[in-house]
Amino acid sequence: MAKLNQIIAVEKSVKSRSYADITEAHHNVQKQALLSGISRTYQPKDEEGEQLPPESTRVQIGAEEILRFTSANMTRLFDVTATKDWANCEARADVMVDGQVLIAGVPVSYLLFLEKQLTDLHTFVKKLPVLDAAESWVHDPSTDSWKTEPVRTNRTKKVPRNHVKAEATEKHPAQVEVYYEDVTVGTWTTTKFSGALPAERVNALAARVEKLAHAVKFAREEANNHEVTDRRVGEDVFGYLFA
């Protein structure tokens, strides 16, 4: 008895060949010259007249022949596809993660859906924002975000100062140079906040998605090992259509 994965493999080649053959048959049946024939003989008016050989052209294809060919050709495709689709309704497998059944009795079509979604989710998770590794972060329950420890920095202001280069004398005024000095006038206390995630959390999420994706693929392979029952629907269909 065939397996579902074998029927899936066969269906593609059967479909390709059937479509090619039906396309060729469709084109041939449109060619009037292939459907037409003629037979004619010549008889002179009297015995002394010119004798001409008979002429004939055979009918090369017949519409009924094309119908029989199409029926036989498409019946195989109808049967293989029916066998696959009926089996897909019956083939199921459990999705197992760490030895535990996460989803029981999953049909093949849903396993294929899960594979696609998990591929997209993996891309989504890997692009989640990660906390800056240059900072030290702690979780803040009050804001449900991450924050750094407060950092104090001084605020300074430039204050002008006078530097006497030469004292005043009776003849000359004092020589004074103005310069600016940074003087602390206050203190900033800064705490950074972030809604990003620790790299460890992102990596753990990605690992979970990958683990489930592998489990789904394994389940799909198991479901595709389901033994199928050959379905014979093509003869009924074309027996009705071309009767």
pTM exceeding 0.75: no
Residue 242 burial class via C-beta count within 10 angstroms: exposed 0-12, middle 13-18, buried 19 and up? exposed
What average pLDDT is seen over the chain? 88
Expressed as residue numbers, the domain containing 179 is 150-190
Q: Which two tokens stand for residue 115?
A: 């594979």
Residue 187 pairs in a beta bridge with: 154
pLDDT at position 147 is 95
Query: Is residue 2 located within the same domain as residue 86?
Result: yes
162 domain-assigned = yes
Q: Which two tokens stand for residue 142?
A: 């009050």
- The pLDDT confidence band at residue 164, using thresholds 50, 70 and 90, is confident
67 domain-assigned = yes
Average pLDDT rounded to a whole number, residues 150-162: 90
Tens of pLDDT, residues 86-110: 888 889 999 999 999 999 999 998 9
Radius of gyration of the chain (CA): 44
107 domain-assigned = no
Query: Is residue 156 located within the same domain as residue 87?
Result: no
Half-sphere exposure of 2 (CA within 13 A, CB side): 16
